[in-house]
Structure 1
């Protein structure tokens, strides 16, 4: 306590140094703590279930002819058909449990108040395999998942129970409308369990056997072995290993592939059939659940961690410099205490206590910095992604900040403490040169620390410049559509009980009502949302193009409304747009893009040719191509190569279950946006409006990762540069103070102010040259590591690197100019008497 009390007094004696040190550390530790929070949630945190390390995820890479549907739960290679899952679940003995699930969009209605969210189809073994216990009632079990269409039961999340049922204990046994179907609530999940997919928090969990009962198209996929859409995981037996379980599962899996599924594969070449039969189940650790985010978020988060770690290193170098300068000023005090009998160990403990106290204060303030940083990150994410994460400073963030604070206290405090208690201190004081000797002893280290700060700042500035230019390249992408003054939203009539016929009638009525709104100049629609990250694909047959067994005959498509291209400002290359006469019973028509025409050998003569959809139309060519359009935006702004796309009218399809709408208006968007929910509610109060936003907002959300990395990298780079500038200024100012007598001698011998300034700035230039060169090399390496995040730009881009170099040079020379200017104004007579 005595050392702590003395440390507090010493810090209070130098309030400016203390404030700069605490603020520097708070900024560095807080930034790292915020990124750690994201890293922990997305990449580290295990599911809150017993013995999560025993969970494994199943995948089966290889040919999967038929229909493959994947989502945020994982890659398409990880999907299984329902019959295959049932075979594995009923016959396997390698795992203690095996379960399947599938995320889906849900429209929920409680007391006639509609809302939207996510749900999950789960097998009866889902909760038993996880080992989750209910907060209220019971969870779904094997007996709730045996009869197709026969279990109108569900479990709700703790969030839904709290927000929509006010945490009432009598919720068990009550009914709730999900996608138009009444379901009985049998239990409530604990607050800690939010699902097994990072980035998704289902509100309802429904037996997998009920999945196709919710289909409005009449499709039943229970027995379709060529419909891959389920994600499967399991739990190892106590003492079992991943390799043993994988070998045992494949003993069961491969005979099913060879004897049952291989004969179902029509039109497959011999080579592909052999690859199909050779598929194997691969097991991976599943403690974190199943999510595509695990792979997608790794590189961006590692990059941000590297950036914030660099900021912290610069902050530590700053504080170390401050303590070195402060230690040189306290050389007499340390020498006197040594002369009076104090041991070096006692003085080391005292100085380290001061360092750790500084870091502790910085750690406390860093929690506020972390909170603000997390709030900023949350504002950059799309609403759906932000809703699935927590942007609060929890105990994990506090623990990380505390560990980081202690570690940095040792890092920046140890050498200054050793330097300040060196063995020759008493002899230096007796010689009357305590301060000068202390300064000379640490001058090289201080200059080296500043050079390192410059190098790290250069690396961050150059990297930020690369990401900013990449974002600029993204913003220049020609989408091929006009997005200004356009609003988009979606509706899902099928989720509130509409069949396909009623859905079509409702969509036509909504289209007419939207056109009647004041200021509206155009209305159209599409089944696949523009720039929403989704796509539908289908093998096609095209007139004059031969599709062999291994030929890539796949194209993506969308079903769209009348005047789709006209409303979006797309110029037809040839042919016509869709009209209101393109309805069921009329000639089936399609519009294709130029990439489609190139891939299937149509060239500029696409209009008038025929095509068909494999599966839907067999091998027949019954769809007439009536239009050719440019390669306009489809699912992503950052599309490396245009996709082959064909468009068909949704009015000619019997499965109009949901729709994305596009409304163009002469009014400002803020005037039109509030009118749309009111309009839909007037048509059907039970139907919620989903994803209502402007098209520019849709595009910002589509490239949110580019925006987030560019903004955060730029903010942290500016912060690092300012910290480095403070460090440079401090070192040069202290150096000028220590060289006052030398400067006075030079001026007495005839040196003018310009030569004195040049003397100081020359030292800055050397540090800038060395640090800048090292920093540029580091930035190039960082850019290569993050190449996948850059768009149409190389990590050695001369413009980006040149701008960052010039910016750092201006800041560094500016920080060095002030001490140089002060040195040039030294009074020679006063300097010669300076000690």
Structure 2
């Protein structure tokens, strides 16, 4: 307690130094705490279930001829066919349980409230495998998925039950309508459980055997060539993942060879060999099963590394400040030693001061951390904001406390040891502290710290420059579309129980009603939303194109309404756009892009040629139009080969994305659209309502987030390095006042004195820049997958970064150099 009182008294005696130190630590620790919050949620935190370390995910890499559909639960190598799931479930020897699941988009209606969202299709053993108990009622069990389509029951998520239904326990036993199907609510999932897929927050859990009812047109239960199920399991006690994989493959491989291989047609010998060589791999599943784990790893680790460097620079600043203050307290330490104070006690006192400083910085860092999280949230898409929590929880508070403690010890240890060294009294008597600028070890340490700060700053400036230039390349990428003045949203009447003819009628009414709004110049619809990350594709047969067993005949697909290309600002190269006459019963037609024409050898003569979906000789679709290449799924991806069909010729379409172009204010149109849909159907939710520029920004949110954060952290790091450089030079000039006076008395002019100080700046900047550039190139190579349109060793970026640092360093060094040049020789010689 005595040490604490003395520490606070000492810090109050130097308010400016204390304020700079606290601010530096707040910036460093706060940035780390904010990014750690995201790292913890997305990469580290296990599921809130029983013994999550025993959960494993199953993956089956290799050829999957047939139909493959995957979503945020993982990539397409992770999906299995439903029959294969049941085969493995019957012989799951190394697993206590094998579970199937899949996320499904739904419309949910209860007691007059209808909203869109996500649901989870799960096998009956889903909750028991996770070891969960219900908050109310019961959870799904094995008896709830024995018969296809025979179990119309549902379990509500706790968050939906609490926020939408008022946590009313009497809802158990009542009906909730999911995609037009009434399901009996049997229970509520436990608090805090949001499913097993990061990035999805299912509002309801439904037996997987009900998919055909909730997803009209689905026929994948009996088809071994239809891959759509994600699998995870719980290891039996004492079983390792390696043993589990070996035993599962003993079941999987014979089924592959004896049952599934004979079903494959037109497969080459090489592909068949790879097909038969497929094996199940068993991966850790404690954090659930999600594609986000892989996608977020590189950017989050990169940002965490950047914030760690900012904290290192802040620590170096504080260490330099404490060294400078320690030099001023040499007399105090010497007196206390002469009065009998032991070195251990003095070191403890100085470390206590450092830890108090760190604690105050840690408290202030909570504000910086929350600001940073709020800034990150403003750059993320709406679905990501709903998935993640952007508030400081106990985990983050614990990390902040630990970071503050470790930094307090780290930056306080050397100054404490140096300020209480055994020869302190001898040093004072010799006057070395005043004449030579303190102990050489301390001087070298201070210079080394500043040089390291400069190196880290250069590294962060180069990295930030790379990401900023990469973002500039992304924003300048030609989309092939005119997104200004364009509004988009989606509706899914099929989820409200609409039959296909009713859906088609509603879509026509939506186009008509929106076209009458003031300022609207075009309205159209599409099955696949553009620049949304969705990818739909098919193998095709094209006139004049020969297909072999391993020929790549795939192309991306869309189905659109009349006026689509005109509304989106795409001018046809040849042919015509779809019209109202291109409907069911009329001759089938298609429009293709230039990449499609090039891939399938059509050239500029595509119009008039014929094609078909799938591998068939019956080319029943005529190509009536050719369009230039436009972006399809991602802004950063090249335009894929694309064929577009009339949505009016689609007999089962139940969901569309609507596009409306306005000559007026897009915000005014955004406000009008919900009212139009409500007049047509009050229970139909409007989904993903936004402007197209907003859609483009959300498509490239990762580039914007990394560029913004890395640039912000680089600016902070550079300012901290400048403060450190200024502090060291100012202290050095003060300590060398007598030396400078002697030099000037012997004839040195102001220019030479300034050069004396600036040469020290040049040395530190030169060494730091070389080290920093080398480290930045290494960091850029590690993050090369995040860069677009430039290399990790872009010379322009490196030159600009070094130039910025030189300007900052020159500014930080000029003031001490100017002060040194103004020293009067006689006053300097009397300086003590």
On whether the aligned pair clears a TM of 0.5, the verdict is yes
Once the two structures are overlaid, the 10-residue window that deviates more, 352-361 or 744-753, is 744-753
Taking structure 2 as the reference length, the TM-score comes to: 0.98
- Partner in structure 1 of residue 41 of structure 2: 41
Report SS of the residue matched to 2:149: coil
Q: CA deviation at 1:433?
A: 4.4
- Partner in structure 1 of residue 742 of structure 2: 745
- Partner in structure 1 of residue 321 of structure 2: 322
Match of 1:807 among 793, 804, 808: 804
Match of 2:639 among 614, 637, 642: 642
Report SS of the residue matched to 2:124: coil
- Partner in structure 2 of residue 119 of structure 1: 119
Q: CA deviation at 1:681?
A: 0.5
**Distance (Å, rounded) in 2 between the aligned partners of 1:399 and 1:92:** 41
1:503-582 maps to which residues of 2 (within 5 A)? 503-582=503-582
**Distance (Å, rounded) in 1 between the aligned partners of 2:214 and 2:110:** 18
1:376-455 maps to which residues of 2 (within 5 A)? 376-436=375-435, 439-441=438-440, 442-455=442-455
Report SS of the residue matched to 1:439: coil
- Partner in structure 1 of residue 627 of structure 2: 629
**Distance (Å, rounded) in 2 between the aligned partners of 1:791 and 1:539:** 29
Q: CA deviation at 1:220?
A: 2.5
Unpaired segments ≥5 residues, structure 2: none
Q: CA deviation at 1:758?
A: 2.2
**Distance (Å, rounded) in 2 between the aligned partners of 1:324 and 1:647:** 70
- Partner in structure 2 of residue 337 of structure 1: 336
Match of 1:797 among 794, 798, 814: 794
Contact 1:216 1:500 in 2 (8 A): no
Contact 1:680 1:687 in 2 (8 A): yes
Question: Residues 567-600 of structure 1, C-alpha deviation per residue, up to 9 Å, x if partnerless?
Answer: 1111211111111211111111111111111111
Question: Residues 792-825 of structure 1, C-alpha deviation per residue, up to 9 Å, x if partnerless?
Answer: 1011112211211111111111011111122222
Contact 2:436 2:736 in 1 (8 A): no
Report SS of the residue matched to 1:103: strand
Q: CA deviation at 1:501?
A: 1.1
Contact 2:323 2:415 in 1 (8 A): yes
Contact 1:328 1:438 in 2 (8 A): no
**Distance (Å, rounded) in 2 between the aligned partners of 1:220 and 1:777:** 56
Q: CA deviation at 1:432?
A: 4.1
Match of 1:776 among 773, 776, 783: 773
Question: Residues 597-652 of structure 1, C-alpha deviation per residue, up to 9 Å, x if partnerless?
Answer: 1111111111110000017xx4310100011111101000001x331111111101
Once the two structures are overlaid, the 10-residue window that deviates more, 818-827 or 122-131, is 818-827
Question: Residues 400-445 of structure 1, C-alpha deviation per residue, up to 9 Å, x if partnerless?
Answer: 1111111111111111111101111111222344455672431221
1:177-216 maps to which residues of 2 (within 5 A)? 177-216=177-216
**Distance (Å, rounded) in 2 between the aligned partners of 1:155 and 1:436:** 79
**Distance (Å, rounded) in 2 between the aligned partners of 1:95 and 1:336:** 71
**Distance (Å, rounded) in 1 between the aligned partners of 2:555 and 2:330:** 76
Alpha-carbon RMSD: 1.2
1:243-258 maps to which residues of 2 (within 5 A)? 243-258=242-257
Q: CA deviation at 1:470?
A: 0.1
1:564-603 maps to which residues of 2 (within 5 A)? 564-603=564-603
- Partner in structure 2 of residue 91 of structure 1: 91
Question: Residues 654-677 of structure 1, C-alpha deviation per residue, up to 9 Å, x if partnerless?
Answer: 021100111100111111110000
- Partner in structure 2 of residue 69 of structure 1: 69
Contact 1:592 1:646 in 2 (8 A): yes
Contact 1:101 1:230 in 2 (8 A): yes
- Partner in structure 2 of residue 168 of structure 1: 168
**Distance (Å, rounded) in 2 between the aligned partners of 1:246 and 1:458:** 47
Contact 1:332 1:435 in 2 (8 A): no
**Distance (Å, rounded) in 1 between the aligned partners of 2:691 and 2:663:** 13
Contact 1:80 1:230 in 2 (8 A): yes
**Distance (Å, rounded) in 1 between the aligned partners of 2:383 and 2:253:** 39
Once the two structures are overlaid, the 10-residue window that deviates more, 717-726 or 432-441, is 432-441
Taking structure 1 as the reference length, the TM-score comes to: 0.98
Report SS of the residue matched to 2:370: helix
**Distance (Å, rounded) in 2 between the aligned partners of 1:351 and 1:436:** 25
Q: CA deviation at 1:48?
A: 0.8
- Partner in structure 2 of residue 363 of structure 1: 362
Contact 1:331 1:435 in 2 (8 A): no
Unpaired segments ≥5 residues, structure 1: none
**Distance (Å, rounded) in 2 between the aligned partners of 1:229 and 1:312:** 45
Contact 1:174 1:184 in 2 (8 A): yes
Once the two structures are overlaid, the 10-residue window that deviates more, 437-446 or 789-798, is 437-446
- The number of residue pairs the alignment matches comes to 831
Contact 2:538 2:554 in 1 (8 A): yes
Q: CA deviation at 1:748?
A: 2.8
Contact 1:681 1:687 in 2 (8 A): yes
- Partner in structure 1 of residue 667 of structure 2: 670
Contact 1:328 1:435 in 2 (8 A): no
Report SS of the residue matched to 2:247: helix
Question: Residues 274-300 of structure 1, C-alpha deviation per residue, up to 9 Å, x if partnerless?
Answer: 222221111111111100011111100
**Distance (Å, rounded) in 2 between the aligned partners of 1:120 and 1:619:** 40
**Distance (Å, rounded) in 1 between the aligned partners of 2:213 and 2:196:** 24
Q: CA deviation at 1:750?
A: 3.4
Report SS of the residue matched to 1:674: helix
**Distance (Å, rounded) in 1 between the aligned partners of 2:756 and 2:171:** 79
Q: CA deviation at 1:91?
A: 2.9
**Distance (Å, rounded) in 2 between the aligned partners of 1:704 and 1:11:** 43
- Partner in structure 2 of residue 154 of structure 1: 154
Once the two structures are overlaid, the 10-residue window that deviates more, 437-446 or 347-356, is 437-446
**Distance (Å, rounded) in 1 between the aligned partners of 2:773 and 2:243:** 49
